[in-house]
Structure 1
Amino acid sequence: MRVKNRRTIASFFLAGLVLLVYWFWLSLRPVEIVAIHHRSSGFSDVLVTSFPPTDKGKIKWWLKNQNMLKDKYAIPKPDSNGYFYVTFWLFGKGYKEEGKYDRLCFNDIKTKINCIEKDAIFSVDKSRNMGLMFTVYDGDNYRLDLNGDIIKVTSD
Structure 2
Amino acid sequence: MKMKNKKILLTICLVISVLMANLVWRSLRPADIIAVHQDDDYSSVLVRNFPISDRGQINWWLKNKDMLKSRYGIPRPSSHGNFTIIFWDFGDGYKEEGKYDRLCFNDMKGPVNCIEKEAIFSVDNSPNLGTVFTVYDGGDYRFDKNGELIEIHIE
**TM above 0.5:** yes
Match of 1:74 in 2: 73
Asked whether 1:141 is paired with 2:143, we answer no
Q: Distance in 1 between matches of 2:73 and 2:16?
A: 42
Match of 1:96 in 2: 95
Match of 1:52 in 2: 51
1:71-91 alpha-carbon deviations (Å, 9 max, x no partner): 111111111112210000011
Q: Distance in 2 between matches of 1:149 and 1:4?
A: 51
List runs of 5+ in structure 2 lacking aligned partners.
none
Opposite residue 14 of structure 1, the aligned amino acid is L
Q: Distance in 2 between matches of 1:58 and 1:82?
A: 23
Matched residue count: 155
**1:1-156 paired onto structure 2 within 5 Å:** 2-40=2-40, 42-155=41-154
Q: Distance in 1 between matches of 2:25 and 2:99?
A: 35
Identity of aligned residues (%): 54
Opposite residue 55 of structure 1, the aligned amino acid is D
Q: Secondary structure of the residue that 1:11 maps to in structure 2?
A: helix
Give the deviation of 1:123 after TM superposition: 0.2
Q: CA RMSD in A?
A: 1.4
